[in-house]
């Protein structure tokens, strides 16, 4: 079934609460929009070969930045074309901050810490070969995703995702994302700064994500640093697929191992459609 809007991104808005996009901003008076004053931010650029955060400000020093693994050209141009074509045959649902999404995963209430199968029937068929390819990477040994979320960004909608930490009750150590259709920047941030390095104000580390690359967040980058895609870093249509594995609580020996086994069996059927 085709989505109700095309890839040009013109559509209604799915923002709630403090979230906003270019579509809903046009409907609000200027006085209704939050006014935030300028703040001091220390900017760094991630070097994937040296695994260092390199300062954009000459007065700062480089520092090790653990927990990010970047692999360029993870998929080919032909695979990218096939993946996008298949996604666009399914419905894209309106989401927060000008994004559209497709979910393949269980029904979750993170606030109440409850999870159930719901309409989950597995990851999509085309992801099977991609997951096998991921597992060939040493940093992704044993990676068994039980959720896939496709997100569609477009500058016409002012698409973005605010700085956040992904849940760690249900989702495990590694977050894996494939970046498609355009280059972008993943911004890692610490509001409290790095006092041990003399950086008292907020710190940003820009991770450049080339088109068709794969990025993995784990360790400090997963649990300490928030990650975001800012509006100004979305210049063309961008689609990404993020894969999540189970936390220890849902692994063998964990409190909810039975549910974990059920979800993993469903996910690995690779017969899913968006839920």
Note whether residue 60 is domain-resident.
Answer: no
Q: Read off φ and ψ for residue 147, nearest 5 degrees.
A: -150, 140
d(CA 27, CA 252): 50
pLDDT tens profile 217-267: 999 999 999 999 999 999 999 999 999 999 999 999 999 999 999 999 999
Confidence of residue 7 (pLDDT cuts 50, 70, 90): very low
Note whether residue 208 is domain-resident.
Answer: yes
Task: Look up the pTM and report it.
Answer: 0.90
d(CA 97, CA 70): 26
Note whether residue 9 is domain-resident.
Answer: no
Note whether residue 119 is domain-resident.
Answer: yes
- Can you give the length of the chain in residues? 275
Which residues constitute the domain of residue 146?
A: 67-267
The mean per-residue pLDDT over the stretch 158-183 comes to: 98
d(CA 243, CA 259): 18
The mean per-residue pLDDT over the stretch 2-21 comes to: 61
Structural domains in the chain (count): 1
Note whether residue 244 is domain-resident.
Answer: yes
Confidence of residue 59 (pLDDT cuts 50, 70, 90): confident
| Tokens standing for residue 257 | 């191992």
Whether the per-residue pLDDT at 30 is higher than 90: the answer is no
Note whether residue 89 is domain-resident.
Answer: yes
Note whether residue 40 is domain-resident.
Answer: no
- Please report, for the domain that includes residue 221, its CATH number: 2.60.120.590
Note whether residue 226 is domain-resident.
Answer: yes
């Amino acid at each position: 079934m085709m989505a109700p809007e095309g890839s040009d991104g013109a559509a209604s808005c799915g923002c709630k609460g403090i979230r906003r996009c270019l579509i809903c901003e046009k409907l609000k008076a200027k006085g209704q929009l939050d006014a935030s004053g300028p703040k001091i931010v220390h900017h760094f650029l991630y070097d994937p070969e040296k695994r260092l955060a390199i300062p954009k400000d000459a007065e700062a020093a480089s520092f090790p930045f653990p927990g990010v693994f970047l692999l360029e050209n993870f998929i080919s141009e032909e695979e990218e074309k096939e993946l996008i074509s298949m996604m666009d045959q399914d419905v894209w649902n309106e989401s927060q901050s000008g994004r559209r999404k497709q979910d393949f995963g269980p029904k979750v209430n993170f606030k109440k810490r409850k999870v159930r199968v719901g309409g989950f029937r597995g990851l999509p068929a085309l992801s099977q070969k991609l997951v096998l390819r991921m597992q060939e990477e040493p940093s992704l040994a044993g990676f068994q995703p039980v959720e896939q979320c496709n997100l569609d960004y477009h500058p016409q909608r002012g698409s973005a995702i605010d700085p956040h930490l992904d849940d760690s009750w249900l989702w495990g150590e590694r977050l894996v994302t494939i970046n498609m259709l355009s280059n972008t920047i993943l911004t890692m941030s610490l509001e409290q700064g790095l006092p041990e390095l003399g950086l008292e104000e907020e710190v940003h580390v820009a991770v450049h994500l080339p088109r068709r690359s794969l990025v993995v967040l784990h360790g400090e980058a997963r649990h300490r640093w928030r990650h975001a895609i800012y509006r100004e870093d979305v210049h063309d249509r961008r689609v990404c697929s993020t894969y999540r594995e189970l936390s220890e609580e849902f692994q063998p020996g964990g409190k909810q191992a039975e549910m974990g086994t059920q979800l993993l069996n469903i996910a690995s059927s690779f017969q899913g459609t968006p839920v």
